[in-house]
Every structure is written in C-alpha cells, then in structure tokens.
Amino acid sequence: MILLDGKNYSKKLKNELREEVDQLIEKVGIAPGLAIVLVGEDPASCIYVRNKMKAANFCHIKADLIQVTKTISENELLDLVYKLNQDDTYHGIIVQLPLPKHINEQAIIDAIIDKKDVDGFGIINKGKLFSGLPCIKSATPKGIMKLLEEYDIELEGKNAVVVGRSNIVGKPMAMMLLEKNATVTICHSRTKKLGEITKQADILIVAIGKDRFIKENMVKDGAVVIDVGTNRVDEKLYGDVDFENVKDKCAYISPVPGGVGPLTISSLLENTIIAYKNILNIK
Ligand SMILES: NC(=O)c1ccc[n+]([C@@H]2O[C@H](COP(=O)([O-])OP(=O)(O)OC[C@H]3O[C@@H](n4cnc5c(N)ncnc54)[C@H](OP(=O)(O)O)[C@@H]3O)[C@@H](O)[C@H]2O)c1
C-alpha cells in the first residue's frame, strides 16, 4: 500500500506558489489579494479560515479576513460581496461555508463575480466545468486530481466511483474524472447495494461526512482510495473510510488528516493566483 501524502505534496506546492508569487510581485508591483469572509464564529469554520490565512501568508498572498456577525442579513452580506467585487486589491473572494440558516448560500456564492470566485462554487464556474470549458475549479476535487497526477495514477478507462453528490465535492469531482476519460459512477444516500458498486471501483472517492463508513468488504483489492471526509469524534479527526481496516487492501490510500485537506488549501491559493493573472491579463 502506498500512502497518498497530501501534506508533504501540499508543502511542495506551496513553496512553488510562493516562488511564483514573488516573481509576479516583482514584475507587476502588487500582490495577489484574497478576501476571506467569515460569518459568525462557528469553531470548525474558524479553524478552516485560520489555516487558509496562514497558507496564504506563507505564499505571500495578501489575505484579509473580513469577519461579520452571524446576525448579518442576506442583503447586508450581498452588499459586502458587491463591494469586494469592485475592490481592485482583491483578486479572489471566498465566503466560508456553512452560512447561518437565514441566508441563502447559493445566492451569496453566485453574487461573487466569476473571475474572483476562487472556490469555483458559483454557477458560472460550475457551468463551465460541466461544459468542459476553462474555469476556476472547485478546490477540493482539483486538489484530488493533482494528488492522483503526482502519484502517476492512470485514470483513462478506469472505473471511478464517487460516493457523495454535493455541489462542492461529489459532482465537480465526477466531472473532473470524466474529463480524464474515467468511467464514472456517482453514488449517494439513496443508492442501493452501495458496497457492490464501490467494490467495482478502481478509483474510489468518498465524500459523505460519515465517520469510517467505508469498510474493507466495500473495497476492491488493489483499489486507489481517496477519503475526503472529515469527521471529528472525541477531538480526533476521522475520514469516511475505515482506514485501519481498508488500507491493506489498497494500492494507494489517502489518510485523514494529511490527505485531501492540505491540497484543498493549496488549490485555493493556486486559484487565487490564476484569478490574479486573469484579471491583470498576465500570461
Ligand atoms: N478535506 C477537505 O478539504 C474537505 C472539503 C470539503 C468537504 N470535506 C468533507 O467531506 C465530507 C463531505 O462533504 P460535502 O460538503 O460534500 O457533504 P454534503 O454536502 O453533506 O454531502 C454529502 C453527500 O454524501 C451523501 N451521503 C450521505 N450519507 C450517505 C450514505 N450513507 N451513503 C451514500 N451516500 C451518502 C449525500 O447523499 P444525498 O445527496 O442523497 O443526501 C450527499 O450527496 C464532509 O465530511 C466534509 O467535511 C472535506
């Protein structure tokens, strides 16, 4: 079994991004700017935002945290996004999810102008992805594709099974695998005989948010298993895959923590640099 080490690979990527940013700053005179909007003080969101800020600072991207209270109205939050859209110092904008229940998440995400939508969650970037057009791609599936590429894992003609069909992970993941000519099956909570389908997977990607749900009898011998899940149990982090029991069956497996998570952040930073170059018309 080979461990897909997202932590170390992400370090390497961040070093490369930092070098690129330094060269861009020297050439253009301004740093890429990232606005991170945090609504309220959800503890998990605060951790994610802190990690994004830290990684951006490491890469010399100018990241600003814009924190607003959880009682902010949808209209006030929309106004904030419109203001950031107009602000030339920001080339990327992210609004940390989830948002409080009284706010329509998709309306806020779609208010971010597509060229600054560095999470790639907006309708324009998603539509382009689904149409096979160049776009800013969702950070988590983009990071997974980079990890598969780094380990020279062939996708063409392979049976890829994605468990989970969220707009931010499962669906864009399936599209990116399809783009690389894998034969893709998407499973979800209403899928019947899930284990029989996952057992056919050469590449199994799990993003459901259920602690250690995928067991060894659901995995094919020699499969490549990517675990997106992050489930906190008694202060410990577990994936959606029962790593200890599944690992010996796999050719490759990503751990939690240290697999997909760090690559999500480096892909977000890469997206910010892409947005900066597009906005400033830098080839
Ligand atoms: N490491 C990272 O960077 C990163 C990034 C994003 C997300 N995550 C983690 O990845 C997990 C998934 O996130 P998400 O945002 O995609 O979640 P989500 O929006 O809650 O979607 C979960 C998906 O899993 C499906 N599902 C739930 N229970 C299932 C079951 N028993 N069998 C089969 N499918 C099932 C749901 O099916 P239905 O559609 O039928 O309800 C849904 O499509 C979470 O643990 C999240 O924290 C990690």
| Nearest protein CA to atom 10 of ligand 1, as residue | 229
The dihedral sign for the CA sequence 117, 121, 122, 127: positive
Place of tokens 């598969």: 148
- Cβ of 255 less than 6 Å from ligand 1: no
Enclosing domain of residue 231: 139-261
Same domain (yes/no): 153, 252:
yes
Same domain (yes/no): 235, 194:
yes
Same domain (yes/no): 159, 213:
yes
Ligand 1 atom nearest 169 alpha carbon: 16
The dihedral sign for the CA sequence 141, 59, 262, 101: negative
- Cβ of 208 less than 6 Å from ligand 1: yes
Q: What is the pLDDT at residue 235? A: 87
Which residues belong to the active site? Answer: 52, 96, 119
Q: What is the pLDDT at residue 283? A: 84
Q: What is the pTM of this model?
A: 0.96
* Residue 245 is assigned to a structural domain of this protein: yes
Same domain (yes/no): 161, 254:
yes
For ligand 1, mutation pick of 48, 169, 173, 242 (most atoms within 8 Å of CB): 169
Strand positions, DSSP E, 30-73: 33-39, 62-68
- Cβ of 228 less than 6 Å from ligand 1: yes
- Cβ of 207 less than 6 Å from ligand 1: yes
Q: What is the pLDDT along the chain (283 residues), one digit of tens a residue?
A: 999 999 999 999 999 999 999 999 999 999 999 999 999 999 989 999 999 999 999 999 999 999 999 999 999 999 999 999 999 999 999 999 999 999 999 999 999 999 999 999 999 999 999 999 999 999 999 999 999 999 999 999 999 999 999 999 999 999 999 999 999 999 999 999 999 999 999 999 999 999 999 999 999 999 999 999 999 999 899 999 999 999 999 999 999 999 999 999 999 999 999 999 999 999 8
* Residue 85 is assigned to a structural domain of this protein: yes
Instruction: Calculate the dihedral angle through the C-alpha atoms of 1, 243, 162, 98, rounding to the nearest 10 degrees.
Output: -140
For ligand 1, mutation pick of 163, 196, 228 (most atoms within 8 Å of CB): 228
Same domain (yes/no): 149, 200:
yes
Same domain (yes/no): 102, 144:
no
Neighbouring CB atoms inside 10 A of 97's CB total 15
Number of domains in the chain: 2
Ligand 1 centre distance from Cα of residue 168 (Å)? 9
The CATH number of whichever domain residue 236 belongs to comes to 3.40.50.720
Same domain (yes/no): 159, 85:
no
- Cβ of 17 less than 6 Å from ligand 1: no
User: In whole angstroms, what is the distance from residue 252 CA to residue 149 CA?
Assistant: 13
Distance spanning both ends of the chain, measured CA to CA: 40
Ligand 1 atom nearest 264 alpha carbon: 3
* Residue 6 is assigned to a structural domain of this protein: no
Neighbouring CB atoms inside 10 A of 18's CB total 15
Same domain (yes/no): 163, 239:
yes
- Cβ of 40 less than 6 Å from ligand 1: no
* Residue 22 is assigned to a structural domain of this protein: no
Q: What is the pLDDT at residue 172? A: 98
Q: Which of 114, 129, 147 is the last residue of a domain?
A: 114
User: In whole angstroms, what is the distance from residue 85 CA to residue 114 CA?
Assistant: 9
Residue pair 266/17 in contact (Cβ under 8 Å)? The answer is yes
User: In whole angstroms, what is the distance from residue 43 CA to residue 47 CA?
Assistant: 6
* Residue 160 is assigned to a structural domain of this protein: yes
